[in-house]
Chain A
């Protein structure tokens, strides 16, 4: 697939709460190839979500520019991108509409955009859910399902729109580690069927190396790539690679960089508290 290349060019974001300027993102440049899984790793509160919000169009940027397939999403003269179905976000705490059934949730995007009739959208939804092993949950409400199943539904809901990019904001943060490992394999399975660009934010290094083709380790506030690593373990992958020697090597190569930033974030947190 050719579509879905993101270029983040010299992006700066300054927050201005109550007059105090806070530099959240500092001259960040990052290229993500079409159809690539790019993992963004950094400690909580380092500013990586700010970057995601800028791509999605929830927040403005102060300077720099972001391009999707060469087209400017935001940049000089247009500080904030317009949110749209070409870049769908899967949120940290989940955002399935609790008042809609699973089927209504999944079919929501194409119906809203007027791309498909209700019937066609629901047919497509059933089909994609069956593909992802989610058949049988169509008539349930989100509140009746486990959080693991809800996350999978949310990814299917995003893919219903044939997005160029999936933006995942620590989607598995609240899950226990066993569920998480199931979710990782399910995500890869979906990815092998629909090669979209995946921009995946996490603070979990193991998750990043397991899923990512590239891993960008970010500095903590202000946020900027500190180290960009190519994970040269071929896809398709499964959980057996966690114990592979190459995986352990990559872990060792990166763990210090991540730990250093975590310490900085911790110290900064202490300063704010004092």
Chain B
């Protein structure tokens, strides 16, 4: 490695990474993976008509419907209703996730940092956490008025547990010597919290946020299927009742894409916040 070379930045760095990626086998393997998946789906449904698969819409039917200006079942890339459903889900996720993050991270930090606080709170937390989110549905409907708030509450709850727990584990994962070093250097308790506890827990916090985003989507769709109006979960359930099978698959694929986009966003943000870790990991990969 030539150590004296200036590191690339901005667009030239992105171009370099793209060129590297295209030169590696990864994009081609990915393409083959997708082709095999779609091929199997097509063969199983449209050609072999395997039992269990025969009822399902094939990839051609789904893609035709999805890209149709005049879809037979009412939902495609060109209908406003499609975006209404996406927007409804994304909005619920955004509110639930932001609330869960804003409350979960401080709770987790304090749980990890203060033994006394932990003695009070953690047993209750541990007892509530294993209750599946679906079990909360009736209470959520009783507790909150309207159709929107119960769904957001359920999304929030799942996220909140994941974030708080991982943040707490993050604080516990910090090596004792960092606390000792900070004390030696004259840091007061509040300074230790700010300069050691918060940044030290950061890697776990962002892992927690990835998990939290995943469970947020999980409970959102479940909640939308049970109650609520609009949203991708609602779309899927409704299409099932109305026997609009290609629309179900459109809803599922959309969930996959939007879910992927949201976790990428969280990962991107985490890398921006933790340059030290990005550089460390890059070096250990290079070595």
Query: What is the interface of chain A, defined by CB distance below 8 A to chain B?
Result: 56-58, 83-85, 87-89, 91, 93, 95, 97-101, 108-109, 112-113, 141-144, 157-158, 161
Contacts and interface: CB of A to CB of B under 8 A. Distances in A.
Given A83-B184, A112-B185, 17 more contacts: A56-B180, A84-B183, A89-B180, A91-B177, A91-B181, A95-B178, A95-B181, A99-B200, A99-B276, A101-B276, A108-B185, A112-B195, A141-B275, A141-B279, A142-B276, A144-B280, A144-B283
A87 B184 contact: yes
Interface in B100-125: none
Contacts of A57: 183
A99 B185 contact: no
B184 A108 contact: no
A87 B185 CA distance: 9
Contacts of A112: 182, 185-188, 191, 195
B184 A98 contact: no
Given A91-B180, A95-B178, A95-B180, A141 B185 contact: no
Nearest to B187: A112
B259 interface: no
Given A83-B183, A99-B274, A141 B280 contact: yes
* Main SS class of interface, B: helix
A271 B283 CA distance: 43
A157 B283 contact: no
Ranked 5 nearest A-B pairs via Cβ: A143-B280, A109-B185, A95-B181, A99-B199, A113-B186
A98 B181 contact: no
Of the candidates B188, B195, B200, the one having the most CB atoms from chain A within 10 angstroms of its own CB is B195
Of the candidates B186, B199, B280, the one having the most CB atoms from chain A within 10 angstroms of its own CB is B186
A30 to B, nearest CB: 21
A73 to B, nearest CB: 13
A222 B180 CA distance: 25
Contacts of B277: 98-99, 143
A141 B277 CA distance: 9
Of the candidates B177, B188, B283, the one having the most CB atoms from chain A within 10 angstroms of its own CB is B177
Given A97-B196, A98-B276, A89 B186 contact: no
Interface in B166-200: 175, 177-178, 180-188, 191, 195-196, 199-200
11 contacts: A58-B180, A83-B180, A84-B186, A91-B181, A99-B199, A100-B199, A108-B187, A112-B182, A141-B275, A144-B280, A157-B185
A85 B186 contact: yes
B176 to A, nearest CB: 9
Contact of B279 (A87, A144, A161): A144
Contacts of A144: 279-280, 283
A93 B177 contact: yes
B235 interface: no
Nearest to B281: A143
B202 interface: yes
B199 A143 contact: no
Contacts of A91: 177, 180-181
B283 A97 contact: no
Contact of A143 (B182, B184, B186, B279): B279
Nearest to A140: B279
Contact of B184 (A56, A93, A97): A56
B57 to A, nearest CB: 50
A248 B226 CA distance: 84
B181 A89 contact: yes
Interface in B251-281: 274-277, 279-280
Contacts of A161: 185-186
Contact of A99 (B183, B184, B202): B202
Nearest to A157: B185
B180 A97 contact: no
B280 A88 contact: no
A163 B185 CA distance: 10
A10 B283 CA distance: 49
Contacts of B275: 141
A161 B186 CA distance: 9
Contacts of B175: 95
A152 B188 CA distance: 25
A25 B95 CA distance: 58
A89 to B, nearest CB: 5
Interface string B53-66: 00000000000000
A99 B187 CA distance: 16
Contacts of A56: 180, 184
Contacts of B202: 99
A97 B177 CA distance: 10
B87 to A, nearest CB: 37
Contacts of B196: 97
B195 A97 contact: yes
Contact of B177 (A87, A95, A108, A158): A95
Contacts of B200: 97, 99
A135 B262 CA distance: 41
A70 to B, nearest CB: 22
A139 to B, nearest CB: 11
